[in-house]
Amino acid sequence: MNSGRVTLWDWFADSAERHPDQPALEVGPERLSYGELRRLVEGLAVRMLAVNGGRPPGAVGLTAARSVAAYVGYLAALRVGATLVPLNPEAPPARNTAVSAAAGVELVVADPASADATPGVVTLAFDADELRALAEGDPTAPPNAATARDIAYLVFTSGSTGVPKGVPISHANVTSYLDHVVPRAEAGPGSRMSGTFELTFDGSVYDLFVAWGSGATLVVPKRTQLLSPVKFIAGSELTHWFSVPSLVSFAAQLGTLKPGAMPTLRWSVFGGEPLPLAGARAWAAAAPNSTLEILYGPSEVTVSCTEYRLPADPADWPSTANGTGPLGAGYEELEFLLLDEDGAPTDDGELCVRGPQRFPGYLDPANNVGRFLSVDAGGTVHPYTGDEPLTDAHWYRTGDRVGRQDGLLVHLGRVDQQVKIRGYRIEPGEIEALLREQEGVRDAAVVAVTGPDGEKELAAAVSGGEADPEPLYSALGDRLPPYMIPRRITVLDNLPLNANGKIDRRALVGTFESGHS
């Protein structure tokens, strides 16, 4: 499908034009139609331009979360043609300020609760009533000059060197993505789509624009409601749901995945981490009218790049070695390679992707080195060194080890140390680098382990007889968002080493997990 839409803003604006009286957003006690939401966006966009001297800001930060200001601010940044930079309101202010500086953020939109999240950056903070006041008189912002090649949004992922990596996604990237996923979801006026993901997580792009690109309603739960997803879905009469599989586990632990408990659901999508098939079966029984689909993809290829729709009858579901759902098939608009360690094609190797969803390269070009490759006419692989321009012909190396099983792609792990915790992509090296800076720490290792609740969590081990865990927690809390802080920090005389003299991470995992037994 080619929707004819050029920018991310177009996906909302077209629906607002077609369905002005349809409900667009439910968040907390607020209910906004497409027309009402559009008016609030125009009012804020006019204010942003005025504060910025009458010219569009190059980049706009957003520190609001699960509030009218969050979603109006998101759309207003797109309305003026700026690059949107979602920031974590719970991250240390120094981290948000550093990210804002790297991204060239000129002003930040916030709700009152997060007005101080980015010190040193011009911040506009509004509640819903103040946004309505801005919209009095129906102000209209001038047309924006954004093009398909301009950057729509910029997300930051954990970086192995200790510095977050900026991942810019162009309007062309995200439009190609939405052209694929929006019609597949079969949403429209009357459909009710969940908004489970934080705006700093690129899964939120699916939430927002599967809804707003089709005239459906985005229904945003409170964070506490995410811990009882079945109750929220049934009470809100949702038709469409997208979340990390961890929320399936929460529902199972609560005992709420009872047959027929979610009768209104028609479309259930899971991504960000592997979906255990046992949990999926319970979900399918609780949502008997719903299709279940698995999405996979790194931020660098715009939210997701593979899909697998589970058969209607669980008896027909595939069996995988690790008990999780397969990745399925790649989007037909993209190209995929599996390469072994020597760069030869294989059926079990690192997944590489290129095509219209592949991002144009990291914000810091130094991060591109080693993350891309090219293949010449003779089939020889050439890792990207940064000595030549990065082009559309280059393949992005996902770092994911993927295999083929019965014609389907299946996830087999990582070729590096990167981990995912409840959908958040984390480079242990970023945490380790901060730990090594602390007094008394000689070396550090961070691993993902299975916690007492059966979910993955971070655990850290440091060597150095004078290291004290309490100051280490405090130091990490000053620099990292909450999801990157290890649940446990253990002090050892020496970190275990394998036969090659490297840190034995498997041994550390065994040590931490044996403590639960």
| pLDDT tens digits along 316-359 | 999 887 788 999 999 999 999 999 988 889 999 999 999 999 99
Q: What are phi and psi of 350, to 5 degrees?
A: -75, 135
Specify whether the CB–CB gap between 92 and 477 falls below 8 A: yes
Q: Which overall architecture, per CATH, does domain 427-514 show?
A: 2-Layer Sandwich (3.30)
Work out the mean pLDDT of the chain and round it to a whole number.
92
DSSP type of residue 367? G
What burial class does residue 22 get, using C-beta atoms within 10 Å of its C-beta: 0-12 exposed, 13-18 middle, 19+ buried?
middle
Residue 162 is predicted with a pLDDT of 67
Q: How many CA atoms lie less than 13 Å away from 211 in the CB half-sphere?
A: 27
**Which amino acid is it at 281?**
R
Q: What are phi and psi of 130, to 5 degrees?
A: -65, -35
Q: Where are the domains of the chain?
A: 1-170, 333-414, 427-514
| pLDDT tens digits along 270-325 | 998 888 888 899 999 999 999 999 999 999 999 999 999 999 999 999 988 778 89
Average pLDDT for runs of 10 along the chain of length 517? 88 98 96 98 98 96 96 98 96 93 97 93 96 96 96 88 88 98 97 97 97 98 93 97 89 90 98 89 96 97 98 91 90 96 90 98 96 92 94 96 90 79 79 84 86 84 83 89 90 78 80 69
At the topology level, CATH places domain 333-414 in Luciferase; domain 3 (2.30.38)
Specify whether the CB–CB gap between 155 and 423 falls below 8 A: no
Cα Rg of the chain, angstroms: 23
The Cα–Cα gap between 147 and 170 comes to 9
Residue 248 is predicted with a pLDDT of 87
Residue 412 is predicted with a pLDDT of 84
CATH of domain 1-170: 3.40.50.980
